[in-house]
Every structure is written in structure tokens, then in C-alpha cells.
Structure 1
Amino acid sequence: MPQSFRPQLSPLMVEDLVRNALLEDLGRAGDITTYATIGPEKTAHMTINGRDPGVVAGLVLAETAFRLIDPAVRFEALVKDGDRVAPGQPLARVEGTARSVLSAERVALNFLMHLSGVASYTARFADAIAHTKARVTCTRKTLPGLRAVEKYAVRLGGGSNHRYGLDDAILIKDNHIAVSGGVGPAIAAARAYAGHLVKVEVEVDSLEQMRQALEAGPDVILLDNMTSERLAEAVEINRIHHGQTPAVYAVAQARVILEASGNVTLETIRAIAETGVDYVSTSKITMAAPTMDIGLDSSLV
């Protein structure tokens, strides 16, 4: 991914997030282990090393952790967020007073390990469907307080972001449909409520519901827990509804976007994407991503 097109995080948001994590870790008395065992004159020259292959994410949060503890700590990134790295590859160098570096270490590594894990796991899903037009996208199933940075990591891994919250897009789910009286009435009410820049998506679990949705004209239809065969049928129904040839449909913008969801794993995503859907959403890339093994190797002076 070219550096100029990589996602960015707001420095204000990063600082608040990291500050709260440091306050949680340092508690009322600070790092009493480090204060008790290491004198203030000691300095540390450390290297952050990746021990797994994967995609790096979270360097800006790690750097902020050291800076907030001690602005004099020097942090030199050796790679960039979004870079793919090999096992054993150095990611950054950190130099400063040992007390400062060690007090920030755990918070810095926690962010770096978790977000690099999300980016790396997302990359595995994205790589599995790179031969299709579909993109893997995340959901609102994220760890509380970490949604923005987890979605940032998803993008670094080659994935796409779904809505960030309840306020930036309308997603009509099964309970909304049941209470509002059906697919058509729910979409009509959403269209009447939403501003012209707000997208409207509706979740359906049958092809009949999908046909009803197409008549009501949402921007996106979420095809929930359908087999690959049903998904392929849905793609064809969408194509016919918009009167497009297969070649035109593959690239056309003037049609309803189709998103597949449910039972998405590394083993199933390829078949799902090959049906012709536009997006495949899964919570696994944020909720089930293993952390990347990253350590801080030190040389105290």
C-alpha cells in the first residue's frame, strides 16, 4: 500500500487513548518495580522486534506511550504501519532513561501486538479473495474503546471499514424489520428519515426478502447466512433487476451493493467471494485475531 494512501489516526484521539491506558497501568503509585530496582542514572537502548510474520499496525500508539511517559525518550520507527514484516525483523529503536522506557513498555507493546494482530489476520482474509472483486470488511463487533484503532488496523491489512457506529449509516436488521412491519416499510421509513448523504442498508435472510428490498431501493443489501449457491442466485437476481449484462454488472455502480455475512472463516471466504458479492463482512478479523508476538529487547547502560 503506498504510504500516501495509508489510513491515518487523529493525534488527539491517539493521545487520549494512550494516556488512559497508561493511567490504568501506572495506578496511584507508578511503576514501583522499576523504581525499586533501577536507579535514575541508568539508560536503556532497546529494540522492538517482531517475532511473527505479518502486517505492522500501531507504531504511532507505541511511540505516544513512550513520549507521554518522558518526552526525552527517543523513538525511531524502522518500518511503517502497513508494512509486511518477517520474523525477527526490527520494528523500532527506543532510547532513554531506563525507568521511563520500562514504565511505558507494556502499554506500547499491548497496542502494537493487538493492532498488528488485527492487521495481519485481516491480510490473511484479504489475500484469500484477492483474485475476486470482493473485499473483506469489519463490523461493529470491536473491543470497547478500541473501535477506531481496530478499524484502522483492518484497513492496513487490506480490509474495508463498515460503519463506525450507529450514527453514520443505517443498517436495518431483522428486529427492525419485524417491528416496523416488513422490509419495504422499514426501507421507506429509513429513506424518509435519512439525509441524502446517509447510506441505507437492509439485512435479509431469504431471496424473497431480497426481492422485496430491491423494490424498495436500499443502497446495500446484506445477505445473512446464505449458502454459496444462494449467494450466487442473489447476485443474478440483482443483475437482472438492474437490467445489466454480466460484464456490465461486474463494474457497474448504478446497482444495489451486495454484502455477504455469516459463517465467514478463512476456509469459507474464498467460496463466498467467488459468488460475485461485493463485500464479505466478518467480526473475526477484529474479535478473533491472534496477537502478533512482539518484544522489547534491551541493553541497559
Structure 2
Amino acid sequence: MEPDYEDLLPRNWEKLVQTWLDEDIPGFDVGGYVVGSKEETAILYGKTDGVLAGRPFFDRVFTLLGCKVDWLMSDGAQINTSSSDTGKVVVAKVTGSCRHILQGERTALNVISRCSGVATATFEAVQQAKAKGWKGYVAGTRKTTPGFRLVEKYALVVGGGATHRYDLSQMVMLKDNHIASAGGITRAVEVARRAAGFSMKIEVETSNYGQAAEAARAGADIIMLDNFEPEELKSVSRRLKGEFPHVILEASGGITAETFHLFLEDSVDVISQGALTHGYNCLDFSLKIVAQ
């Protein structure tokens, strides 16, 4: 039995969904008054090829509104519009009072279209890496939408990627500003280790071989090779792996879907892309009431 992605979600995550509804329905709902509370069924159509993601959030929108969702697809499934004569795929059915279906419609669609967009971009990068025989991790970053991090990080996992650090408390990352303020790489790593102890990894952002080697000698667990050109990255990462085989090497900075393949190198363990959570294309979904 495959694990359920929903089991990743933290305690009280449903409260986030309630805030989305509260934002969208702060006063009178005249449209809901027009249609009333008669029971209706609406069909959720997927209209763009990609990876479905976001079921728990979509479900919760309509659960809070007293509606029932019946799914025909699971998170992680491929939406293939060419398999349908209409160019759209039935993903789910929503049943409930008409006004409640329409109250939740836009919020639910906003979430699932964005979540599926992140999952699709991630999946495509992972598949590209596998096709080239690369065995490292495709990762996101903390470049997430404020208030929407949970959804975007969830989508990274559904798409087959790694979330990197979920938040500031999950791993220590010493970037250029930390290093400058602390008085250098070695000093920054030493101070960080006092508080991080043995159970938390420390990553250091570097921009050349010298900085990377210093970080490794200081005891960094992960070294980010930031904004390297592809050929320089390959040369430096091979040298570092030879000298510090235990250190995890990450390539990051300006890597896009178009340039991703240029950074696939056996000596690189992680390739992170901020674009996975801030430059993705949304998938197109629609929710249509079934004519009675």
C-alpha cells in the first residue's frame, strides 16, 4: 500500500484553508443568494497535461462548506488530455448545495491549479535528470509564496522532488550575509555548530573553490556552489568530491528548466531551483455544474 501524501501535513493544517475562505467571503454572497441551496453536482475537469497535486486542500475547502468530493484520480497521477475526445479529463465530482459549491469554486481551483503546477515542473525536472542517469536530488528552495508555503512544499514532494529546508528551523544555512556579519566562513560554522549540535546539518553558501574548501574544513555538512557556470561547477565539484567525499554538494542559483540539464554532474548531489516554487505555470482546471 502506497503512503498517502496527506499524512505529510502538520497538525491543524486545515485552519489555513479556513483563512482562504474567510478572505474570499467577507460579506454578503449575492451570487449564492441567486442560486440558493438546492443540491447540485459539479465536475472538476483537468484541461492541461501535467501532474495532479493538491487533493487534501481542495477536499478541505468543500468539507468546510458541507460538500462531498469524489475523486477519480490520486495526487501524483498524470493528467493526459489527449486521452479524451473533449480535450479535458474528469478528475473529481463535487456534490452539495449550489451556493456552497460556488462559494468554494474559485478558492479550490486556485489552490489545485498552483499545487499541480509546482508538482508538474518538479516532475519534469526529475524525469529529465533520470533520463540522463543522474542520481541526485532535485530540490526546491525557500522562495515560496508567503502564506502558501505548505501547498508549494507539498507539491514538490508529489512531483518527486525534495523540499530542501522547509523553514529556517529545519537546517542551518549560512549565506553571504551571515558569513560577512559573523567574520568569515570558519567562524560562522563554529558558532552555528554550538547551537545546532550533532542532529542538524549545516550548509554554507560559497561562490568559489577556496570558500567551498574552507567550509568543508570547518565542518560544514553541505556546500552550496552558488551561481557557478556549468563548466566551472563540474570542475570545482569534482575537485571537492575528491578531497571531501563526505560533503554533500549542491548546485544552485539561476538554474531554470531550460538550463537544468547543463548542471547534471555526478559529483553534484543536489540541484535546487527557486523557479520550482516561484516561476511555475499553473495547470488549468474548471468546475462545471452538471445540467439537470
**TM-score normalised to structure 2 length:** 0.92
- Displacement of 1:234 in angstroms is 2.3
In the alignment, what sits opposite 1:107? Answer: 107
Q: Deviations over 1:114-156 (max 9, x none)?
A: 1011111111221221120122111111011111221110111
Partner amino acid for 2:24? Answer: D
CA distance in 1, matches of 2:78, 2:274: 22
Partner amino acid for 2:177? Answer: N
- Displacement of 1:113 in angstroms is 0.8
Number of residues of Structure 1 aligned to a counterpart in Structure 2: 284
CA RMSD in angstroms, aligned pairs only: 1.7
> Do the aligned residues in 2 keep the contact of 1:121 with 1:285 (CA within 8 Å)?
yes
- Displacement of 1:193 in angstroms is 2.1
Tell me, what secondary structure is at the counterpart of 1:48?
strand
Provide closer, same or farther for how the CA distance between residues 289 and 69 of structure 1 changes in structure 2, counting only shifts above 3 A. same
1:78 aligns with one of 72, 82, 86: 72
Partner amino acid for 1:267? Answer: E
> 5+ residue gaps in structure 1?
243-248, 250-254
CA distance in 2, matches of 1:44, 1:25: 21
Tell me, what secondary structure is at the counterpart of 1:117?
helix
Instruction: Write out aligned runs for 1:190-229 (5 A).
Output: 190-229=192-231
In the alignment, what sits opposite 2:18? Answer: 19
CA distance in 2, matches of 1:212, 1:175: 17
> Do the aligned residues in 2 keep the contact of 1:43 with 1:300 (CA within 8 Å)?
no
> 5+ residue gaps in structure 2?
82-87
Does 1:145 find its partner at 2:147? yes
- Displacement of 1:3 in angstroms is 2.9
> Do the aligned residues in 1 keep the contact of 2:32 with 2:100 (CA within 8 Å)?
no
CA distance in 1, matches of 2:3, 2:141: 25
In the alignment, what sits opposite 1:33? Answer: 31
CA distance in 1, matches of 2:97, 2:291: 9
Provide closer, same or farther for how the CA distance between residues 54 and 89 of structure 1 changes in structure 2, counting only shifts above 3 A. same
Does 1:170 find its partner at 2:172? yes
> Do the aligned residues in 2 keep the contact of 1:128 with 1:266 (CA within 8 Å)?
no
2:258 aligns with one of 267, 272, 281: 267
**TM-score normalised to structure 1 length:** 0.89
131-140 or 199-208: which moved more? 131-140
Tell me, what secondary structure is at the counterpart of 1:139?
coil
Tell me, what secondary structure is at the counterpart of 2:268?
coil
Does 1:10 find its partner at 2:6? no
Tell me, what secondary structure is at the counterpart of 1:198?
coil
> Do the aligned residues in 1 keep the contact of 2:52 with 2:77 (CA within 8 Å)?
yes
Instruction: Write out aligned runs for 1:124-163 (5 A).
Output: 124-130=124-130, 131-163=133-165
> Do the aligned residues in 2 keep the contact of 1:14 with 1:61 (CA within 8 Å)?
no
Q: Deviations over 1:30-74 (max 9, x none)?
A: x21121x2133x32121101000111111111111111012xx22
CA distance in 2, matches of 1:224, 1:140: 15
Provide closer, same or farther for how the CA distance between residues 32 and 14 of structure 1 changes in structure 2, counting only shifts above 3 A. farther
CA distance in 1, matches of 2:12, 2:51: 22
1:64 aligns with one of 60, 64, 68: 60
Partner amino acid for 1:81? Answer: D
- Displacement of 1:281 in angstroms is 0.9
In the alignment, what sits opposite 1:246? Answer: none
